[in-house]
Amino acid sequence: SCVSDSPWVADITTTVFFLIGLERGEKFMKQISEEMDVFTAYTAVNSNGDVFVSPTLEFVPAGDL
């Protein structure tokens, strides 16, 4: 997370840091999931409380799974 006087700067910075970490961690998580034979997925929740799930960063509503 990021702390800033400007909420939108904090949101953008947090998102950028998240995506950088996600890119670097994706290979590691894929390797671990294959070795442990488990399914890994990314999740997101919007401001309406809708949950989205994605194994490939293409988010779909959880209700559609």
What pLDDT, in 10s, does the model give residues 39-62? 667 777 888 888 887 766 565 566
Q: Give the Cα separation of 38 and 18 in Å (integer).
A: 23
Kindly state whether residue 27 falls inside one of the protein's structural domains.
yes
Domain that holds residue 18: 7-64
Number of domains in the chain: 1
Instruction: Check: CB of residue 48 under 8 Å from CB of residue 40.
Output: no
Kindly state whether residue 2 falls inside one of the protein's structural domains.
no
Kindly state whether residue 32 falls inside one of the protein's structural domains.
yes
Average pLDDT estimate for 22-51: 74
Average pLDDT estimate for 8-26: 67
Kindly state whether residue 29 falls inside one of the protein's structural domains.
yes
Q: In 1-65, at which residue ranges do the beta strands (DSSP E only) sit?
A: 42-45, 51-54, 60-61
Q: What is the pLDDT of residue 1?
A: 39
Buried b (16+ CB within 10 A) or exposed e, 26-52: eeeeeeeeeeeeeeeeeeeeeeeeeeb
pTM of the shown model: 0.34
